[in-house]
Amino acid sequence: MHSNIQRNFIFGDEWLYYKFFCGHNASDKILSEIIKPVSEKLLSEGFIDEWFFIHYTDPSYHIRYRIKIKNGDFIGPVVNILNSYLKEFIIQELIWNVETDTYKREIERYGENTMQISENIFCLDSRIIVNFIEHFNNEQPFERSSFALRLVQFYLDSFELSILEKLHFTESLKNAFYKEFGSEKEIKKQLDKVFINNQQLIYKTLSSPISKTNHLTKSIFNHKKDIIKNINSILTIHKEGVLQTEIFNLLSSYIHMSVNRLFISNHRLHELTLYDFLWRFYKKEYFNSKNS
């Protein structure tokens, strides 16, 4: 398929693409002590426009880090700054291999006329998540799930879904994931238990506004306007009838990548859990609105 925008970027082009091979246990440390400070330094010094990361497990677990440099003259300084942060992690064997690769844009998935907007969203989402992870409390393991619920809800709100659309969207994806896992009865039983044990916290999280004073939503608040601005551009393209991908597929892709960034492993099980819990919440909200 011919594209009017550049599809592939070899190392040294506009996008630099790194892979950091590491253990699962080192992932959060790499995000908070390498990727976050390096990205902030490169942005503040004007070397790059944006960056984003994802977790990946093929052929083995690693973090994929992509950096968009402002011009080719900055490749040297960018590589040197990143190397200075990587050295100690490599010495300690927290990172056991570093590779560079070609960044291949998924244009068919994200649409040619929304690819660069999508990359903007990837960057903002990555910034939200590394800021959360830096302050994540390991003694409260459900906190990451609470944050994920609120972040997914933020995307649904930003795409301006009605309560009924949210209900249908979460139900459709929940059902698709149940089919994927096969043992629906057993997984549902486990999720029922988790939901009941955390029900009050879930409803409180999903009913609270995004604010800079709430430690759970502070990182979302800091980038809320910029994400909404980018999503509004997508909604405008959609209303003009020239969106090159289905709007709900685009939304589910953004959520899928966000969940990938936030959780270290078992991403699809986490997606199922989030959609299941959100569906329960929206079902209650919908029936409350019908009866009020």
Question: Confidence class of residue 4 from pLDDT cuts 50, 70 and 90?
Answer: confident
Instruction: For residues 213 and 277, state if they share a domain.
Output: yes
Instruction: For residues 154 and 266, state if they share a domain.
Output: yes
Instruction: For residues 116 and 93, state if they share a domain.
Output: no
The DSSP output letter for 101 is: -
Instruction: For residues 58 and 87, state if they share a domain.
Output: yes
pLDDT at 2: 62
- Would the pLDDT of 200 be above 70? yes
pTM of the model: 0.96
The reply to whether 3 falls in a domain is no
CB 193 within 8 A of CB 284: no
pLDDT at 215: 86
Where among 38, 69, 104 does a domain terminate?
104
Share of the chain above pLDDT 70, in %: 99
Instruction: For residues 92 and 50, state if they share a domain.
Output: yes
Enter the tokens of residue 200.
């009050």
50: buried, middle or exposed (CB in 10 Å: 19+, 13-18, 0-12)?
buried
Place of tokens 């209303």: 239
Instruction: For residues 58 and 98, state if they share a domain.
Output: yes
CB 223 within 8 A of CB 127: yes
Instruction: For residues 130 and 93, state if they share a domain.
Output: no
- How many CA within 13 A on the CB side of residue 46? 1
Place of tokens 């968009």: 68
- Residue 245 forms beta bridges with which residues? none
pLDDT at 138: 75
Q: What is the mean pLDDT of residues 270-289?
A: 96
Where among 61, 78, 104 does a domain terminate?
104
pLDDT at 135: 87
Alpha helices in the chain (DSSP H): 27-30, 36-44, 75-91, 107-110, 115-134, 142-158, 163-181, 184-207, 218-239, 247-262, 267-291
CB 159 within 8 A of CB 246: no
- Would the pLDDT of 183 be above 80? no
How far is Cα 170 from Cα 274, in angstroms, rounded to an integer?
A: 9
Q: Across all residues in the chain, what is the average pLDDT?
A: 96
Structural domains counted in the chain? 2
Instruction: For residues 51 and 119, state if they share a domain.
Output: no
How far is Cα 219 from Cα 231, in angstroms, rounded to an integer?
A: 18
The reply to whether 97 falls in a domain is yes
Each residue's pLDDT tens digit, 112-130? 999 999 999 999 999 999 9
Q: What is the mean pLDDT of residues 279-289?
A: 95
Instruction: For residues 99 and 115, state if they share a domain.
Output: no
Residues 74, 125, 145, CA angle at the centre, nearest 5°? 140
- Residue 98 forms beta bridges with which residues? 20
Question: Confidence class of residue 1 from pLDDT cuts 50, 70 and 90?
Answer: low
- Would the pLDDT of 3 be above 80? no
Range of 68's domain?
Answer: 9-104
Instruction: For residues 90 and 112, state if they share a domain.
Output: no
Domain at 39, CATH number: 3.30.70.100
